[in-house]
Structure 1
């Protein structure tokens, strides 16, 4: 049972179905008395571009400093986002570029190709919407976008286990189907909390 949960809505549109899914997860977790905080990328203000790479420090905006504090605090991180061009939206990628910095999320060892994972002890759940059929994403794309998020970002920093829930195909779905998905995600929030 995880009692400290941060829900990250990675969709840039506050009226998106992802926003409704993030709210549904939060509602489920709150029903089990979990402590839930949110980071809504459609509402916070930051430059998603890591202008100088790691050559020169780019100061973090207040919203990103707060996001780091929430991620430190959380035992479980829920990330809700759509699949665009096979992976996450640019704003979510920019969020990870700016927030999951060396010294916060990981630290390379001196004179070594190895690194220390600084976000261990946390778990994650990715709730990913797609218009692509799930079978196509699995067999043709081989879950490329999921793998980037799960392995190359979250597990790289020590967050494990990472679960994935696919919500597919959103664009042609009916209102009834969307209601079913919202109910499913509410139950996922209640189950974990």
Structure 2
């Protein structure tokens, strides 16, 4: 069972790009955040989804365990090492990309992310002591996503993933629409990611 907590350590940030393509705006936001955080003295580790080779299908649920591929073992080790997580990815069909969700399905298992009580419906949140930032892009305007879909992708990562495992506080930054947006506007989004990275690098260094 994983029990180590990230709190009380030096600034340790694990950045995960959840876009399955090799290049994307998500990568650019992660680059900006990472560079700024490191400039403030934070130690970072990073993984990119497109470089991860694994079976995303949990298949048997929690009834039978699959052996974790090396990249999934590394991903879990980085979660345990960090006291702050940064996930950057696109919103697709009201949620995260399927391959990204596959990492969570395979890795956020009992004994790692949570421990269910033998009696009753409750559980222990095993990843407590870590905070998180999410940088999410979408082709829908943010106001339309809120009006029509009630920020479904934001709720997906914040409530049944981070909060369930004890990761808090968390903050989600959503940018859209990406399609048709001029580079000047995108540059302001990248600058926002950079400012957040610098701020968290300073904040974590003082914790």
Which bin holds the TM-score, normalised by the shorter protein? over 0.9
The corresponding residue for 1:105 is 113
Find the aligned partners of 2:50 and 2:75 in 1 and give their Cα distance: 14
Rounded to whole Å, the distance in 2 between the matches of 1:37 and 1:17 is 19
Give matches, 1:66-81, under 5 Å.
66-81=74-89
Which residue of structure 2 aligns with residue 183 of structure 1?
Answer: 191
Distance in 1 (alpha carbons) for counterparts of 2:88 and 2:147: 23
User: What is the distance in 2 between the residues matched to 1:32 and 1:141?
Assistant: 37
Local SS of the residue matching 2:127: coil
Moved segments of 4+, more than 4 Å: none
Q: Unmatched 5+ residue regions in structure 1?
A: none
Verify: 1:149 aligned to 2:164, yes or no. no
- What is the DSSP-based 3-state SS (H/G/I as helix, E as strand, rest coil) of the residue aligned with 1:54? coil
The TM-score, its normalising length taken from structure 1, stands at 0.97
**Counterpart of 2:14?**
6
Q: Report SS of the residue matched to 2:95.
A: coil
Taking only aligned residues, the RMSD between alpha carbons, in angstroms, comes to 1.2
User: What are the within-5 Å matches in structure 2 for residues 80-159 of structure 1?
Assistant: 80-159=88-167
Contact 1:2–1:192 (CA<8 Å) still a contact in 2?
Answer: no
Q: Return the alpha-carbon distance in structure 1 between the equivalents of residues 125 and 29 of structure 2.
A: 29
- What are the ranges of 5 or more consecutive residues in structure 2 without an aligned counterpart? 1-8, 202-207
Q: Alpha carbons of 1:163 and 1:2: their partners in 2 closer, same or farther (altered >3 Å)?
A: farther
Q: What per-residue deviation string (whole Å, max 9, x for no partner) do you get for residues 77-120 of structure 1?
A: 01101000011000111010011111000010002100000000
Deviation at 1:51, TM superposition (A): 1.7
- The answer on 1:42 being equivalent to 2:30 is no
In the TM superposition, residue 177 of structure 1 has moved relative to its aligned partner by 1.3
TM-score under structure 2 normalisation?
A: 0.91
Count, aligned residues: 193
